Structure 1
């Protein structure tokens, strides 16, 4: 394998607004504008991953007006953005985030991206990566010339690349089923998992996902921690109580941290504990990149909560 992990997906400018209460449809409410920050779910996870001192690459699909976003990733986060594809037919990449009553509501601007056609040299770079972290949206539209999205995934599997997919609040529907045999880790949050269950039992739902070919399912449960589903059983990691400032990006912090620790150790319990602590630390500050603090603060936080950090220090040193 050559180079670092590749994160494929969105980077955006996050425009923040604070509200006393979120309004009902058809009403008006005052909002206080807060400083804008760089965001985008995949870029957030990439920033967290890079903050641990790991070689990290980002492949976005943006217009040239948004080069400030990739400049930020390169100059401030140490992420290699050379793989990014620019297309001026796309709209500006940004999100509107409203903070109210301890929660956040996010409006994501549709950039008009319908197709991600990888140049052959870019595809070859992906085939040499140890890990690819992306979303269901990307995998639904990626191709390389005449090679379909499933063909791209099949080639990656043949080359030994691990593929991680964050589906967030969405579900694995029939259209996404063909992708699942090539997904090593599927991340979902509690909202997405509840939608996936659709009233069915937990075991039935997980069995269905494994039947599609998914390697591992990790469900984040916010303040209640996470649950990791393996074919041989499940691992529950309890939540960590903290004073919450902003939960934006907490899931990205979790998933980026889990991906690194699992890649380094192959131990899902270690990865889950580390990611849980990293995410808990991130919600104590404002901004989607609040989790990109590096290893030292996370390890210190873990020690303050009575966690033996010896195996984590060894993994991060590698």
Structure 2
């Protein structure tokens, strides 16, 4: 399988500070004895790294703060062969920071201070339009200002670009924007928040996906953690089963899924194949610590798929 294609990712960059505990604390409780590690994250940066590790040509539009992380982050992007021309630096802000607590099974709590991500304005996107024009697929998330998200969606619609929109964290957006997308990707919690449909059974997942389709989205993809993925399109609906692995950290799994999905889509793969590829990438990622460090290479993904009897 040849892995290439031009993807422009628009989104956040964070520094992830993680403490791994024996279990997650209750309200008001302090738990000692955890392991500490620090890695780079942010939904935009995570998805860009995931796509780049799959062999795609990736441009990242993001905003960093003016601090000691700036040079380190840019060096990391360059080392992943990510185009940094539109990595902006906000002189008066700090780089976005996420504080993560995770337990031994990979469940987590996450709090984010947006910092310079809040300065990724429509004006900056206007300067970065050449990267959007050049893209085969645009990959978009929240963790950046809502006005910027709307500007990107309008610009991509005007330019005829395919957009994969990972609506995370969940944020209400006008129904009219869904018709401007190629794919919506959300997890169960986000699907419930955005559709108002309780997802407590397979029928709930299906009903939630139908809400997105009714608003004009060609494909609605709902990730279900270890249970797999549900996909609804105008002419097809199917589940992709989860791949059993020993999870140690689920942080960034959704981002790995999205980045890998975008790469597969640039190859013109059928949607089911693309989702199977992304599902395998996400499964591999949860067996490792950290959001960006956990993103697998394409060879690893193809090897896992082959072990499942799926050949690409």
Q: What is the TM-score when the length of structure 1 is the normalising length?
A: 0.85
- Encode CA deviations 1:99-124: one digit per residue, 9 max, x unaligned: 12521111111316166122644223
- Report the counterpart of residue 154 of structure 2 in structure 1: 154
Candidates 88, 109, 112, aligned match of 1:108: 112
SS at match of 1:107: strand
1:256-286 per-residue CA deviation (whole Å, 9 max, x = no partner) reads: 1111112212411001111111111111111
Residue pairs, 1:1-318, within 5 angstroms: 4-65=6-67, 66-102=69-105, 103-111=107-115, 113=118, 116=121, 117-118=123-124, 120-138=126-144, 140-142=146-148, 149-150=150-151, 152-168=152-168, 170=170, 173=172, 175-199=173-197, 201-308=204-311, 312=312
Cα distance in 2 for partners of 1:76, 1:47 equals: 10
Give, in whole Å, the separation in 2 of the partners of 1:296 and 1:115. Answer: 34
Flag the 1:290–1:84 CA change in 2: closer, same or farther, 3 A.
Answer: closer
Instruction: Please give the root-mean-square deviation of Cα atoms over the aligned residues, in Å.
Output: 2.3
Structure 1 residue 189, shift from structure 2 partner: 0.6
The residue that corresponds to 1:316 in the other structure is none
What residue number does 1:315 align with? none
- The whole-number CA distance in structure 1 between the counterparts of 2:290 and 2:183 is 26
Q: Is the 8 A contact 2:104 2:248 kept in 1?
A: no
Verify the 8 A CA contact 1:169 1:191 in the aligned structure 2.
Answer: no
Inter-partner Cα distance in structure 2 for 1:255 and 1:226:
12
Displacement of 1:305 after TM fit? 2.1
C-alpha change, 1:188 and 1:26, in structure 2 (3 Å) is same
TM-score (norm 2): 0.87
Question: Could you tell me whether the CA contact under 8 Å between 2:61 and 2:86 is conserved in 1?
Answer: yes
The answer to which of 194-203 and 90-99 deviates more is 194-203
Q: 1:283 to 1:263 in 2, by over 3 A?
A: same
* SS of 1:142 mapped into structure 2: helix
Distance in 1, Cα, partners of 2:90 & 2:240: 42
- Does structure 1 conserve the Cα–Cα contact (< 8 Å) formed by 2:284 and 2:296? no
Name stretches of at least 5 consecutive residues in structure 1 with no aligned partner.
144-148, 313-318
Which is further off, 207-216 or 47-56?
Answer: 207-216
SS at match of 1:35: strand
> Whose relative contact order is higher, 1 or 2, with alpha carbons under 8 Å and at least 6 apart?
2
Shift of 1:91: 3.0
Structure 2 distance, partners of 1:302, 1:57, is 27
CA distance 1:139–1:110, shift in 2 (3 Å): closer
Partner Cα separation in structure 2 for residue 183 and residue 137 of structure 1: 18
3-state SS of the aligned residue for 1:118?
helix
Q: Distance in 1 between matches of 2:264 and 2:223?
A: 16
Q: Unaligned regions of 5+ residues in structure 2, if any?
A: 199-203
